[in-house]
Structure 1
């Protein structure tokens, strides 16, 4: 008897059915049966179902003799089910990777509840997935299941069949079944929640709900009147179950909300059916009215209009509200324009005042917060040039990352424009506001943010997918303002000077943001791992993929849960999305908590220190991570597509910093077999470090400050000499330290007290 019976009705979804069925069969949790019900579909759905049944013994095909509709098709599938739990999935939707594993784990943790409610995401025609906005009721509070009375807010979660999992014996005991009709979910989901003795929740996206043209909700049809019949069935169910009578006022209000949506949403009801809908709505409200707790006045007004059938008045009220919002938005826009004009006048006035030689202003990543090269330089300013007062530009939500004692500036304020106009030193890893006027006496330091593997600057002129409307004349105007550009190696120097042409001076002193790798201690590593929740004996893999210009959505190429299933339980993944990507790379609840989402962590350097190895693709993080002399594995399965869309300066597969995997399976083999930290990988890493990390000895920021602020040129003038890569001792990873201690324990030690000092 399988754990899950996944029931998929199919009618006119031939274009989506392959993807739907594959999403079930490719799940990492395999104890399932897939019951595909061909609802006498006139297209190829029946043939597709038979194809999958012939290919995989877990698939059973059910062909109905006549088209019955979604509800009866689900019932036909349930009649064939043998699993402990029933899962309903529409033929144009998909299960999220790892969904069944997460569901199985949650069911086991909560004592086999009768119903489990989980999250979902709406996926539109662009492929973008947006999490359902009603998430609070899904909070996973403890391991104890509960009845609906303990968490009635679950009724605000979308009332559909496919965002829940049902114990089969519970469905049989209560005699629950789907009716025919358009709105078959209504008299199914409410009785399910009302009668379940134990409910659990899972705050994770398990289903991707496809929003497509031509769907039922996007089609004007008089069959939307079916919603009224379905609520008749729901209240008839309550009539048969007097012990549930206390829920009648709640369901009555839910009905008013639902009928208001159907009656006012454009494209639902044909014009010829609206009068009938209003008339029947008034009758329904009189017949099922159940006064209860008084909601807010706006809700009472809306419900009153629905009860009276005044849907036109309701729509007019909605339009008036929207018009008021637009008017308020126009007024706010005018005020913003006036404020911007006043700020520019203030800036022009400040430009007439003297430049302050004891002021420096810093920023990184368009105001995202303290860090990267500018962060390292700001700290070096305070250490080696304390006479210069520093300020940091950050958006309000990121100002908490700025160290104490550093002045905080909010972009677009008068103080911000004053600092830009009068500070002698301007430091950034991107560009300042294009309206910045570079004054005589000001010094602008461009730190950049990494060694370039992909095409940058003017080289993007032939890469429209990557350039995406880049203003190349503005790029040249920006580079004309630069006085110094920092570089960590000769490859970077030659690239920057060609793709960002200007009269600046290149300082080939190393990357200041990498100084921390030579300065950190084992105590720092232990503290960082503890703050991230990395278990003491874990092997932490930092997964940090780059941005794909050729993709509309940035879905992760690597299924982290599937990868971890093939690895030793000690492995955990620190999942770090590219800073341009919103949202996590994987569900943190996946793989029994072995995936830690670190996308919101402010410092990528700290994540590098906390990890034992790096998994990346074409991200410049590999050049920084090489300074730690820790294992690096590259996943290059889409190299050709990336190279064609973005362009690269060399084939990193020919000169890698470690092992190279050309597929996810090969990556798993490299990690499971230990090749990721073998001698061949170490030799590749050493050659890579010699080529791309010649100056990153921990004192790059000091050299920049001594050169730019203190005027020191060369070692004779006070610049510290560069320590070659072979003589550096970066802090070892936690796993490497533990391995070294283990080897030491097996070696006979000399008599007497012995002290072991960990190298930095």
Structure 2
């Protein structure tokens, strides 16, 4: 039987849950069990519980049906617990290092009290951790055993479930439980204080309370029905009945009633509906539960409590009117805001937004209006096939208009028709954010397709990496992501990272990346033609070198001596060099075995043409893995990159699922990998198989179809298919194809959380 049972009830905490669980399981104190409880929310939090349970015997997962509520999840976890003490931890929060050892030590030092209260830090959604009032109060209390009757200040410690260790015998003996609604946790906290014959305190921060962003339109932690103030009256009535039914708790009855009076009075201004009913229910609470020794404050301070306790609704309204009139007389009379003049386009855009939406119009853009490409293009072309009733219009910069294929409708930013389609379209697809001037109307649907699987830190996680976040306004970023309705994800890893990096109300669409469909469906003769057009001779081994950019560098710097590398490989190999599009010109050396493809419009075609990929930290490795061809990571500056830019996992760890193949740090070392055959060795084949299982679970060539059916056609059933062979196994006329992959690795694996 473990000493501590840590119960983690979650709802929609996918992006934060991994760190939460790791903060518990990596504690120095190990005599614990962890009980994870989810309610089947579609974000996949339950998958993480299953993952941790499969590799740590201290973890068990409980999956409840949807709608269980916070009380259902917490109570279910408590019923399964076997430890001496119950601790609750929200899936957004973490246990600080050494927390559980400190808790266990204080329990031992105080002779196993029935309740232990410990401190916490509060970390705002964007900001640094800071001490709390509760931690200050705990520091002012004696270290021995206490009771609520002797120390009423205990009621001022945050009444939550996750800052206390409750002895299981107390929980079960007193039949403690979490009640329904938004106040169930608070009442449970008060029950533990009232029922405990011995309370100990630990003035040490053990939990970091992390603020969670609630974007407009997002589900709250629990669905609210708007009757929270009315429910508070019922919750306090249940608490007073709990005390009344236990005569030994009579000494704390007045304390709890006075706390109820304070909170019910404080809740009065927030009552916007059925205010008369609220006042009457508070008066009924007073009549039923007011102790004989309770007295209202005297003078003006006690006026409102007396009116509320007496149910005098009309008198309360009159008092509110008088106070409001006094405030208005004190207000400065000359505060008149000046209105900024609108430009003509602004007027036109405003007027167009008053017209009905066009349900058959979709706007597409990619890479800041650089033309047709990436995931939006794949969705656009599939929509033409499956949903022709939805017309697509591309936003293309004026200097890129010449790249638009014939027959594709497009608009240039700033033109009259541009403002018209922004105002009237129903669907919006982009692999980056639309400009800030776009105003999202009710009924418009925004789909963020993204354009890579994250290895590097993204979004709000960049706040701790100044070099990566230079010039990024996080407030404006949050305003942009609040427009998303769908977030397309390539794999479970991306789903988890996007949920943390871009907290918003968007639904995750774990479909795979539409742009990668061609990697599974392009026929061999087309690959041969691509290689020929690029200048790859029949029989040559084509190696694609595609490094990423560094946020801390303004120009392309090759970490590879390209001329030396080409010389070492000889004329039977050709190197296709693709610098990141952020750089203007790569300044490549002149060598007959080197082909500059920096300006090639389609990275997918370059992947199809290559027999192997050499990259550093570019997300192209996740796309190329769909082809099941060798990947070599050339990473001479890994320590600098992950320190300055920040990364999500250790690419060079060599662990299955983290590293896609061979690793080099020097030009000569990279050349040896290709000369001695280790670029396609069995060991690196095994690494690639694990990498593909983690990052390419939907490589069946139907990702665009899944997005179109879900978003444009409203079909909710997923399109399921196996990992296609197609182009993955074909390398055109190359004479150095990768050896056949084991047959079992060609079967699409079921979606799972990353290892």
TM-score by length of 1: 0.51
Post-superposition offset of 1:396: 2.9
2:346 to 344, 347, 352: 344
2:468 is paired with a residue of what secondary structure? helix
Contact preservation (8 Å) 2:634, 2:664: yes
**Residue equivalent to 1:672:** 675
Q: CA deviation at 1:735?
A: 6.2
1:12-46 deviations in Å (ceiling 9; x for gaps)? xxxxxxxxxxxxxxxxxxxxxxxxxxxxxxxxxxx
Superposition TM-score, scaled by structure 2 size: 0.51
Q: How does 1:20-419 map to 2 (within 5 A)?
A: 341-419=343-421
Following superposition, the deviation at residue 599 of structure 1 comes to 0.8
Residue 400 of structure 1 and its aligned partner are, at CA, apart by: 3.5
1:697: which partner in 2?
700
**Alpha-carbon offset, residue 529 of structure 1:** 1.2
C-alpha deviations, 1:645-696, integer Å up to 9, x for none? 1000101112211111122221111011121122222111111000000012
Matched, 1:706 2:709: yes
**Closer, same or farther: CA 649–740 of 1 in aligned 2, 3 Å:** closer
Does residue 603 (structure 1) correspond to residue 602 (structure 2)? The answer is yes
Alpha-carbon offset, residue 699 of structure 1:
0.2
Q: Is the 8 Å Cα contact of residues 525 and 732 (structure 2) preserved in structure 1? A: no
Alpha-carbon contact 2:365-2:372 (below 8 Å) kept: yes
Question: What corresponds to 1:496 in structure 2?
Answer: 498
- Contact 2:520–2:700 at 8 Å: present in 1 too? yes
How far apart, in 2, do the equivalents of 1:737 and 1:521 lie? Answer: 15
Name stretches of at least 5 consecutive residues in structure 2 with no aligned partner: 1-339, 741-755
Secondary structure, in 3 states, of the residue corresponding to 2:687? helix
What is the match of residue 638 of structure 1?
Answer: 637
Matching residue of 2:228 = none
| Matched residue, 1:560 | 562
Q: 1:681 aligns with which of 661, 666, 684?
A: 684
Residue in 1 aligned with 2:731? 734
Please give the alpha-carbon distance, in whole angstroms, between the structure 2 residues aligned to 1:554 and 1:742.
Answer: 34
Q: CA deviation at 1:741?
A: 13
Answer whether contact 2:538 2:734 (CA < 8 A) is retained.
no
Q: Does 1:510 align with 2:509?
A: no
Cα offset, 1:533, TM superposition:
1.6
Give the structure 2 partner of residue 52 of structure 1: none
Name the CA distance, whole Å, in 2 between partners of 1:634 and 1:740: 19
Is contact 2:524–2:732 with CA below 8 Å preserved after alignment? no
Structure with greater proportional helix content: 1
Aligned to 2:588: 586
Contact 1:392/1:407 (8 A) holds in 2? yes
The structure 1 residue matched to 2:469, chosen from 467, 470, 494, is 467
- 1-side partners of 2:483 and 2:738: how far apart? 52
Equivalent residues of 2:376, 2:449 under 8 A apart: yes
CA deviations on 1:68-101 (whole Å, 9 max, x unpaired) are xxxxxxxxxxxxxxxxxxxxxxxxxxxxxxxxxx
Q: Deviations over 1:482-521 (max 9, x none)?
A: 0000001111001001110001100011111100101101
Match of 2:664 in 1: 661
Offset of 1:729 from its aligned partner?
A: 4.3
Cα deviation, 1:215-250, whole Å, max 9, x if unaligned, reads xxxxxxxxxxxxxxxxxxxxxxxxxxxxxxxxxxxx
Q: CA deviation at 1:585?
A: 5.0
Distance 1:530 1:355, change over 3 A: same
CA shift for structure 1 position 635: 0.5
Give the distance between the partners of 2:604 and 2:342, measured in 1 at CA.
Answer: 36
Instruction: Give the C-alpha shift of residue 371 in structure 1.
Output: 0.7
2:601 and 2:359 mapped to 1: Cα distance? 30
Give per-residue Cα distances to partners, 1:454-503, cap 9 Å, x unaligned.
00000011111111120000011011100000001111001001110001
**Which residue matches 1:620?**
619
Taking a change above 3 Å as real, the CA distance of residues 552 and 340 of structure 1, as seen in their structure-2 partners, is farther
Distance 1:400 1:339 in 2: 36
Aligned residue-pair number: 397
Q: Sort the Cα spacing of 1:339 and 1:682 in 2 relative to 1 into closer, same or farther, 3 A.
A: farther
Separation (CA, whole Å) in 2 of partners of 1:374 and 1:650: 28
Q: Report SS of the residue matched to 2:714.
A: coil
3-state SS of 1:697 partner: coil
2:481 is aligned with 1:479: yes
Structure 1: 5+ residue stretches without partners: 1-337, 744-760
Residue 399 of structure 1 and its aligned partner are, at CA, apart by 2.7
Q: C-alpha separation between the residues in 2 aligned to 1:535 and 1:368?
A: 31
2:456 and 2:739 map into 1 onto residues whose CA distance is: 41
- CA-to-partner distance for each residue in 1:230-280, whole Å, 9 max, x for gaps? xxxxxxxxxxxxxxxxxxxxxxxxxxxxxxxxxxxxxxxxxxxxxxxxxxx
- TM-fit CA distance, 1:617: 0.2
Q: Please state whether the residue corresponding to 2:595 is helix, strand or coil.
A: strand
Shift of 1:433: 1.2
CA apart distance, 1:595: 1.1
- 1:544–1:577 Cα contact (<8 Å) kept: yes
CA distance in 1, matches of 2:640, 2:677: 29
Structure 2 counterparts to residues 530-549 of structure 1, below 5 A: 530-549=532-551
* Superimposed CA distance per residue, residues 424-466 of structure 1 (whole angstroms, 9 cap, x where no aligned partner): 1000000111011000111000000110000000001111111
Displacement after TM superposition at 1:708 (Å): 0.7
CA contact (8 A) 2:546 2:613 kept: yes
Q: Do the aligned residues in 2 keep the contact of 1:488 with 1:696 (CA within 8 Å)? A: no
* Aligned equivalents of 1:729, 1:742: Cα separation in 2: 16
Distance change >3 Å, CA 554–CA 423, structure 1 → 2: same
CA gap of 1:628–1:400, structure 2 versus 1, over 3 A, is: farther
Q: Distance in 2 between matches of 1:396 and 1:532?
A: 28
Deviations 1:551-573, CA, capped at 9 Å, x for gaps: 34331111111111111311111
CA distance in 1, matches of 2:467, 2:579: 20
Q: Give distance in 1, aligned partners of 2:555 and 2:524.
A: 39
Render the CA deviation track for 1:271-330: whole Å, top value 9, x for unaligned.
xxxxxxxxxxxxxxxxxxxxxxxxxxxxxxxxxxxxxxxxxxxxxxxxxxxxxxxxxxxx
Confirm or deny: 8 A CA contact 1:630 1:733 kept in the other structure: no
SS at match of 2:405: coil
Whether the aligned pair in 1 keeps the contact of 2:380 and 2:392 (CA below 8 Å) is: yes
1:648 aligns with 2:647: yes
Rounded Cα–Cα distance in structure 1 between residues aligned with 2:730 and 2:667: 24
Deviation string, structure 1 residues 354-393 (Cα, Å, up to 9, x no partner): 1100001100000111110101000011011001111111
Show the counterpart of 1:267: none
- Return closer, same or farther for 1:679/1:401 CA change in 2, 3 Å cut-off: farther
1:172-225 alpha-carbon deviations (Å, 9 max, x no partner): xxxxxxxxxxxxxxxxxxxxxxxxxxxxxxxxxxxxxxxxxxxxxxxxxxxxxx
The SS at the match of 1:476 is helix
**Any conservation in 2 of the 1:486–1:511 contact (CA below 8 Å)?**
yes
- 1:737 Cα shift? 5.8
Q: Give the superposition deviation at 1:341.
A: 2.5
CA distance 1:342–1:629, shift in 2 (3 Å): same
Distance 1:742 1:633 in 2: 16
